[in-house]
Amino acid sequence: MEEEIKTEEEIKVAEEDKKLETAKEIEEKTNKNKVIFDIKKYIIPIILLVITLVVIIIPSKKIDIIKKFEYSKIKKISKLATIEAYYHNVATKEQDASTLGKIMFNHGYKKYWVEYEGKVTFGVDAKKIKIDGPNSDGVVKVSMPEGEIIGKPNIIKEKVQKPITDTGFLTSISTKEKTEAVSLAQEKMEECAKNDVELLELSREKAKKLIEKFIAETGKNIGKEYKVEFID
Q: What does the per-residue mask of binding to another protein show for 118-137, with x meaning CB under 8 A?
A: x--x-x--xx-x-xxxx---
Separation between Cα atoms, residue 226 and residue 132, nearest integer Å:
12
Cβ-Cβ contacts under 8 Å for 113 (sequence gap 6 or more): 90, 91, 92, 163, 164, 165
Number of residues that bind another protein (CB under 8 A): 112
Q: Tell me: does residue 40 bind another protein (CB under 8 A).
A: no
**Rounded least distance, CB 57 to another protein, Å:** 9
Site for another protein in 138-167 (CB under 8 A): 140, 150-152, 154-155, 157, 160, 163
Dmax (CA) for the chain in angstroms is: 158
**Rounded least distance, CB 25 to another protein, Å:** 24
Residue 47, beta-bridge partner list: none
Burial of 75: CB neighbours in 10 Å, binned 0-12, 13-18, 19+: exposed
For residues 232 and 207, the answer to whether their CB atoms sit within 8 Å is no
Q: Tell me: does residue 116 bind another protein (CB under 8 A).
A: yes
**Rounded least distance, CB 58 to another protein, Å:** 12
For residues 55 and 49, the answer to whether their CB atoms sit within 8 Å is no
Write the DSSP symbol of residue 174: -
- Please identify, using beta-carbon distances, which residue of 16 and 151 lies nearer to another protein: 151
Q: Which stretch binds another protein (CB under 8 A): 3-11, 12-20, 21-29, 80-88?
A: 80-88
* Residue from the set 15, 16, 24, 42 that interacts with another protein by CB under 8 A: 42
Separation between Cα atoms, residue 24 and residue 30, nearest integer Å:
10
Q: Which stretch binds another protein (CB under 8 A): 1-9, 12-20, 24-32, 117-125?
A: 117-125
- Please identify, using beta-carbon distances, which residue of 85 and 204 lies nearer to another protein: 85
